[in-house]
Structure 1
Amino acid sequence: MQFIYVLAGWEGSAVDSRVLRDALFRNGFSVPQGFFAPYRGQKYHLSEFNPHNQPSTAQEFFNMKHSQARNVIESAFGILKARWEILRGRSFYPIKTQGRIITACCLLHNHIRRVMVVDPIDEIEDQNILGVDGETIHHIETSDAWGRWRDQLAQEMWNQWRRRHHAR
């Protein structure tokens, strides 16, 4: 629930891939290996999954886990905006100042998350999202290898879940 990289200055309506491409060309930013997009044409949103409607394929299971991780990210932004009123409304500061304000709020948010035993604004139970150690991605390119790797990871996750789920 902490921010590891802040790139302030883009409009909220900017396409994610364009912002990512910009971040990759700046110094100091890299995407951890194992960063995958969800499968298209498969169930994705957590509301589509429930005890009576479990994932039925490896791709659906992967998408469910991807959606859970995305919810944690959205929660971090929600807590950030709840904590700092200046981030909730329209700003009339110059763009450069706005970027500095956003960065300062993120830094203070991270400091609070590290120092306070109980964060009064945090209504979310601690969630542990494990990162992937290893190499990093420094550029974006289309590759069948990434698709095959995602498929293999999804299948392994699915098989492990099915073994645990059906063992009950």
Structure 2
Amino acid sequence: MQNVLAVCSFDMLFTYVMARWEGTCPPPPRKYYLVDAGYTNKRGFLAPYRNVRYWLGNYRGRATPQNKEEVFNQLHPSLRNVIERTFGVWKARFPILKRMASYPFDVQVRIVPATMAIHNFIRKKKLHDSLFEQFQSTTVDEDRSTEQLFPQVRPENDQIEMNRVRDEIASQLVSRR
């Protein structure tokens, strides 16, 4: 089994892929992976505030954010949503991704970027595509709480630093409203 690091843009295009890597790959300074509450908010990983309204469904209707933490958490899943939809289109279009283990490892490594390149070609050429249409109009609204699955961990220095970064972003969001 291989690890794949992929980055996508807000227009549902893959902008970076690294297949066949081991361990972790830290992002460049002042860049962050947007992660869900299943991850610890630590260096390079920007997670939502815990124990604060988060899922998109919590903000439908009249529910408006009451503080900077809720403002941040309201926007966080909206950004993550495009990532979920991009990967949803990719996985739905290429069922071979679910059967990779039957191929030699060097073939598996080449399949990932090849399928992402085809995905990008279809998206960029704006071809009539039912998968993009289907995923363009839907939102990924997770009903389960990852808070229950992943308990809060003891803060470390890099977690404290990312908490500061998140607070700074949340404060800027509130001041711009």
The corresponding residue for 1:160 is: 176
Pair 1:3 & 2:5 matched: no
User: Which of residues 6, 23, 30 in structure 1 aligns to 2:25?
Assistant: 23
Does the Cα contact within 8 Å between 2:100 and 2:108 map onto a contact in 1?
no
Change (3 A) 1:34 1:3: same
User: Which of residues 93, 101, 104 in structure 2 aligns to 1:94?
Assistant: 104
Please state how far the C-alpha of 1:96 moved relative to its aligned partner: 2.7
The corresponding residue for 1:55 is: 65
Deviations 1:76-96 (A, max 9, x none): 001111222312446411233
Please state how far the C-alpha of 1:34 moved relative to its aligned partner: 4.8
Q: Where does the alignment leave 5 or more consecutive residues of structure 2 unmatched?
A: 1-11, 33-45, 138-156
Between the two proteins, the alignment pairs up a number of residues equal to 132
The corresponding residue for 2:166 is: 150
Pair 1:33 & 2:58 matched: no
Please state how far the C-alpha of 1:49 moved relative to its aligned partner: 1.5
Please state how far the C-alpha of 1:102 moved relative to its aligned partner: 1.4
Please state how far the C-alpha of 1:156 moved relative to its aligned partner: 2.1
Higher strand share: 2
| Deviation >3 Å, runs of 4+ | 7-10, 88-91, 117-120, 143-146
Corresponding residue SS for 2:106: helix
AA in 2 matched with 1:33? R
Q: Where does the alignment leave 5 or more consecutive residues of structure 1 unmatched?
A: 11-18, 25-29, 126-140, 162-168
How big is the alpha-carbon RMSD for the aligned residues of Structure 1 and Structure 2?
2.6
Change (3 A) 1:115 1:32: farther
2: distance between equivalents of 1:56 and 1:84?
42
Does the Cα contact within 8 Å between 1:7 and 1:23 map onto a contact in 2?
no
Does the Cα contact within 8 Å between 1:83 and 1:121 map onto a contact in 2?
yes
Does the Cα contact within 8 Å between 1:42 and 1:63 map onto a contact in 2?
yes
Pair 1:69 & 2:79 matched: yes
Provide the identity percentage. Answer: 35
Corresponding residue SS for 1:6: strand
Does the Cα contact within 8 Å between 1:9 and 1:99 map onto a contact in 2?
yes
2: distance between equivalents of 1:85 and 1:145?
40
